[in-house]
Amino acid sequence: MIGIFDSGVGGLTVTRWVRQVIPEASIIYVADQGYAPYGNRPQWQLQQRCDHIADWLIGQGAHLIVIACNTATAHCIDNLRDRLNVPIVGVEPGIKPAALGSQKGSIGILATENTLASERYRTLAAKFNPETLIINQPCPGLADAVEQGPDHPDIHRLLHTYVPGLAAAGIDRLVLGCTHYPLVADQIQALAGDQITLIDTGKAIAAEVKRRYQARPEPSVVRLITTAEDDRLKGLVQSWPELSLAFAGASFETAEDSLL
Ligand code: DGL
């Protein structure tokens, strides 16, 4: 079984690819909506949540963990790998494919404040700097707005604040450095213009998950679990068309107390 988690629905943009490449896998997904957003939480609390969720997933039988969240990967993956005996796949902003594909040598990164402030991100960026000019755009509030559903007015307002300035800075690649952002990729593309290519690493992460996955005789079921008090994950997944289609057969649950 593959255990996957994120602060909310964002990680499902990675999970849908995982389902496509390993349809036979059993998946248990935790949306930590009771503690979302992760983008501005203190490090100690991120670590506490990641430890707790990963331990719980392993207790449920997960033999592979996917941290489908850039923020949690940036701050917690090293500790989890030191402590746990199962393979752990994380996600990080796709600076590498963006830098390698850029003709202008100038790329933009959309991510949470926590991701951009992390040591791990700075080390990654330093590998491509200064040959590639990397322009960071923190997006406070955006993942949270996506968590409110496609029609929430903050999505439009925040994208208009974050994207046009970056696009005007002469970049030709724009990295979606938070797993929530692929859900608003069309709006980002419209604001960025068609000269700019968006970079989403979801498919590449799924390929890595497939490499690490060892088949077990288990039913191919998908359980989606929220740590929010009510079961608001179901309504949210159904409100994003690309998710409702991809997770039509999934079961929705509210987390048991031991996961809170
Ligand atoms: N989806 C997450 C990420 O990739 C976290 C967003 C948040 O909770 O702030 O960074």
pTM of the predicted model as reported, rounded to 2 decimal places: 0.97
Question: How far, in Å, from the CA of 217 to the mean position of ligand 1?
Answer: 32
Q: Cα–Cα distance between 105 and 102 in angstroms, integer?
A: 5
Name the residues annotated as catalytic. Answer: 69, 178
> Which pLDDT score, from 0 to 100, does residue 229 have?
82
For ligand 1, whether the C-beta of 228 sits within 6 Å is no
Any alpha helices (H) in the chain, and if so which ranges?
12-21, 43-59, 70-83, 95-101, 113-117, 119-126, 142-146, 153-168, 185-192, 202-212, 232-239, 241-246
Task: Using the atom order of ligand 1, give the atom closest to the CA of residue 7.
Answer: 8
Give the atom of ligand 1 at the shortest distance from the alpha carbon of 69. Answer: 4
What are the residues whose beta carbons fall under 8 Å from the beta carbon of 84, sequence distance 6 or more? Answer: 54, 58, 65
Largest Cα–Cα distance of the chain, in whole Å? Answer: 52
CA of 145 to the centre of ligand 1 (A): 11
Report the alpha-carbon distance of residue 177 to residue 208 in Å, rounded. Answer: 18
Closest CA to 189 of 208, 206, 207, 176: 176
- Let me know: does 38 contact 112? Beta carbons within 8 Å: yes
pLDDT number for residue 183? 98
Ligand 1 atom with least separation from CA of 10: 1
The label of the residue with tokens 């949540």 reads 49
Would you say the CB of residue 180 lies under 6 angstroms from ligand 1? yes
DSSP state of 258: G
Task: Indicate if ligand 1 lies below 6 Å from the C-beta of 69.
Answer: yes
Distance CA(170)–CA(193), nearest Å, equals 11
Q: Which of 244, 228, 236 is nearest to 30 (CA)?
A: 228
Ligand 1 close to Cβ of residue 71 (< 6 A): yes
38 Cβ below 6 A of ligand 1: yes
- Ligand 1 pocket test, pick from 32, 38, 176 with the greatest ligand atom count within 8 Å of Cβ, gives 38
Find residue 176's DSSP bridge partners: 110
Query: How close is the Cα of 16 to the center of ligand 1, in Å?
Result: 17
Nearest alpha carbon, ligand 1 atom 2: 69
For residue 95, what are its two tokens? 């600076």
CA atoms within 13 A on the CB side of 103: 4
- The token pair at 219 is 């039913």
> Domains of the chain (ranges plus CATH)?
2-91+203-259 (3.40.50.1860), 95-200 (3.40.50.1860)
Q: What is the per-residue pLDDT for 231?
A: 79
**What is the Cα–Cα distance from 207 to 67, expressed in whole angstroms?**
14
pLDDT recorded at residue 57? 98
Ligand 1 pocket member 176 (CB < 6 A): no
Whole-number pLDDT of residue 230? 79
Question: Would you mind telling me the total number of residues written for the chain in this entry?
Answer: 260
Whose tokens are 């968590």? That residue is 147
Q: Are strands 133-138 and 88-90 parallel, antiparallel or unpaired?
A: unpaired
Query: Rounded to an integer, what distance in angstroms lies between the CA atom of residue 122 and that of residue 42?
Result: 18
- Any ligand 1 atom below 6 A from CB of 10: yes
pLDDT value of position 117: 97
Task: Estimate the crossing angle of helix 70-83 against helix 43-59, to 10 degrees.
Answer: 60
**Ligand 1 pocket mutation pick from 67, 118, 180, 184 by most atoms within 8 angstroms of CB:** 180
Peptide bond into 37 cis (omega under 30): yes
For the chain (length 260 residues), average pLDDT per consecutive 10? 98 98 97 96 96 98 98 97 98 98 98 97 96 98 98 98 96 98 98 98 98 94 94 94 95 94
Residue entry with tokens 């996917």: 66
